[in-house]
Amino acid sequence: IKGLVVMSAELDAMYTALTLQRVPDVWSSVGYLSLKPLGTWFKDLVARFEFMESWLKMGPPDAFWMSAFFFPQGYMTAAQQTYARATKIPIDTLDFRTVVTKMTSPDDVDRPPEQGVYIYGAYVEGGRWDFDAQCLAESSPKETHVYMPVMWLDPVVKDLSAPRDPDVYDCPFYKVSSRAGTLSTTGHSTNFVRQLQLPTGAQRPEHWVRRSVALLSQLDE
């Protein structure tokens, strides 16, 4: 501001990004994956800090906001690890069974599950969740994203010999809507989190594949 520092290419790029209400590359390169414009990105950043601060001061919440995690795959592995240690079951034999609850908000959760974890904050893209039928349904007019109820990730032992359930869609869960990512040094995708099993209702799983139905941990706006 005082003109004591020469404008570098990095400062110029940051100034341009801020002027255009975009997150500067120098921030996003060391931050979490997000497609939000600057204003909502900053609000989201504050909300993440508040979630983590509450966890630190008040103890683990009854339900976990998935978008708050820089590396949600690591959190899910930790949840499986907790169950594996409690039950003496090898963690590499475990998977999650997805149960969509009727709780529409984390405020409806009054206690954590006996095993596994409650998660919230996901949006379904390409379809919607039918609260009455408790299954996937076609999108309503002018609806592109629908907020999902609280979901229960219940640890179960994998049964590799079991036939595939024809009434369940293995829904991909992404951090952001681009649905594109790269493999990080941990071997995990920078965008894809995991598949969550959702009841298909009257349709076959292939129908929702053609609809490109997916879950997102955050929206672009």
Q: What is the pLDDT of residue 194?
A: 96
* pTM value surpassing 0.95: no
Q: What is the pLDDT of residue 88?
A: 96
Torsions phi, psi for 71 (to 5 deg): -135, 80
Q: Dump pLDDT digits (tens) for 188-208.
A: 899 999 999 999 999 999 999
State how far the Cα of 69 lies from the Cα of 22, in Å rounded to an integer: 22
pLDDT band at 101 (very low <50, low <70, confident <90, very high): very high
Inter-CA distances, 61 with 31, 57, 110, 112, 178, Å: 24, 11, 10, 8, 29
State how far the Cα of 40 lies from the Cα of 67, in Å rounded to an integer: 14
> Residue range 155-182: average pLDDT?
89
The residue extents of the domains of the chain are 7-59, 62-216
pLDDT band at 11 (very low <50, low <70, confident <90, very high): confident
Question: Which comes out higher in pLDDT, residue 3 or 186?
Answer: 186
Q: What is the pLDDT of residue 147?
A: 96
Instruction: Calculate what percentage of the chain has a pLDDT beyond 70.
Output: 98
Q: What is the pLDDT of residue 78?
A: 96
Q: Is the pLDDT of residue 65 over 90?
A: yes
Angle, CA 143 vertex, CA 140 and CA 144 arms, to 5° = 125
Q: Is the pLDDT of residue 118 over 90?
A: yes
Q: Dump pLDDT digits (tens) for 69-83.
A: 999 999 999 999 999
Question: Which comes out higher in pLDDT, residue 29 or 216?
Answer: 216
The sign one gets for the Cα dihedral 48, 62, 194, 173 is negative
| 62-216: in CATH 3.10.490.20 | yes
Any idea which residue has 């103890």 for tokens?
A: 59
